[in-house]
Amino acid sequence: MKSIVAALLLFAVSAHAEEDSACKRVRERALVDGPVILGLYDADFGTGRSACLRSELAVYERFGATIDTPNFYGGVRADTIFSGSYRLRHNMELFGAIELVHWEFAQNASIKATALGLGQATLGLQGLAFESQRFAISAYGRVLIPTASWPTSAQTAGAEVGLAALYRPRRDLEVHAQLSADFTAGLTALPQVRGGTTLMLGIQYAPARWFAFAIDLATVLCHRAALDAFLPSLGLRFRVWRALNLELDATAPVAGADRRLAIGALRVAYRY
């Protein structure tokens, strides 16, 4: 009898500890959390990853504009992106994204060009390495898959590895950080290989169970210049019905070599 009581007590304590772990210690589990998923590259390559694992389906429309006056260049871009993640087990997640529709218009001093078709895709794996009551750390890797169907002079492939960390002092507040390194290669007779690093630090605050906002500061280094971009990002997150979320995201390079004017997205996500 004593052994049964001890086993029940141990189970209750462990269940309570798991319930109060960093990844479950949230204001509302169905509300989107983690970094703002906006980046400078194809699909979700080089974007933020939450340290906590989850199962989620999302579709979003991303818009971007580029103005490079010294080089007489400008362009606009729109992507319809489908993404998903599936928690294989407690400490392992499979995730990916694909640009279902990619549209881009670019013009320089003498040439206009338009692209329309299937865009790039990514596939990745993430593992939860450490979790306590307030901290979580995970490692991930993903590949950029050359699936573009629109006319292009070269397909692009790439790979990325990174670490994502989270500190949650309260259920309504989280601090997240990320360090990642990536490279891409143009698949031509003379491959153009580029690589760099992204550092990100941000917060999310959820004043209500149906609303949260995230502010991230990212620094992108060494892809085309010593400082490619310093990117402040803002995400407004709304839980509109049960586990269905609506998110408005925006970012703009305020320093660095990147000439993009702004990037924004409207994202619908369902957590299950």
Domain boundaries, the chain: 2-271
Radius of gyration of the CA atoms of the chain, in A: 20
Mean pLDDT of 229-238: 98
Q: What is the pLDDT of residue 70?
A: 79
Query: Percentage of the chain surpassing pLDDT 70?
Result: 92
Q: DSSP state, 20?
A: T
Is residue 33 classed as helix, strand or coil in its secondary structure? coil
Q: What are phi and psi of 116, to 5 degrees?
A: -150, 130
pLDDT band at 19 (very low <50, low <70, confident <90, very high): low
- Spatial CB neighbours of 21, under 8 Å, sequence gap ≥ 6: 131, 132, 133, 136
**Which region, left, alpha or beta, applies to residue 90 given φ > 0 means left and ψ of -120 to 50 means alpha?**
alpha
Q: What are phi and psi of 124, to 5 degrees?
A: -145, 170
Kindly tell me if the per-residue pLDDT of 17 is higher than 80. no
Q: Which of 12-26, 108-122, 175-189 has the lowest mean pLDDT?
A: 12-26
Comparing 81 with 190, the larger pLDDT belongs to 81
Q: What is the pLDDT of residue 12?
A: 36
Task: Classify domain 2-271 by CATH number.
Answer: 2.40.160.40
> Whole-number mean pLDDT of the chain?
91
Q: Which of 2-11, 46-55, 78-87, 229-238 has the lowest mean pLDDT?
A: 2-11
Mean pLDDT of 176-198: 90
In tens, the pLDDT along 95-140 reads 999 999 999 999 987 888 899 999 999 999 999 999 999 999 999 9
Q: What is the pLDDT of residue 14?
A: 38
Tokens of 181: 């390194």
Distance CA 25, CA 94 (A): 22
pTM, two decimals, is: 0.89
Which long-range contacts link 241-248 to residues 24+ away (Cβ below 8 Å)?
242/30, 243/30, 243/270, 243/271, 243/272, 244/268, 244/269, 244/270, 245/30, 245/31, 245/32, 245/269, 245/270, 245/271, 247/32, 247/60
In tens, the pLDDT along 37-67 reads 999 999 999 999 999 999 999 999 999 999 8
Q: What are phi and psi of 149, to 5 degrees?
A: -105, -15
In tens, the pLDDT along 190-221 reads 778 899 999 999 999 999 999 999 999 999 99
Q: Do the strands 193-208 and 260-271 form a parallel or antiparallel pair, or are they unpaired?
A: unpaired
Q: What is the pLDDT of residue 267?
A: 98
Kindly tell me if the per-residue pLDDT of 253 is higher than 70. yes
pLDDT band at 71 (very low <50, low <70, confident <90, very high): confident
Distance CA 12, CA 139 (A): 30
**Which region, left, alpha or beta, applies to residue 6 given φ > 0 means left and ψ of -120 to 50 means alpha?**
alpha
Mean pLDDT of 75-90: 96
Q: What is the pLDDT of residue 146?
A: 93
Kindly tell me if the per-residue pLDDT of 5 is higher than 70. no
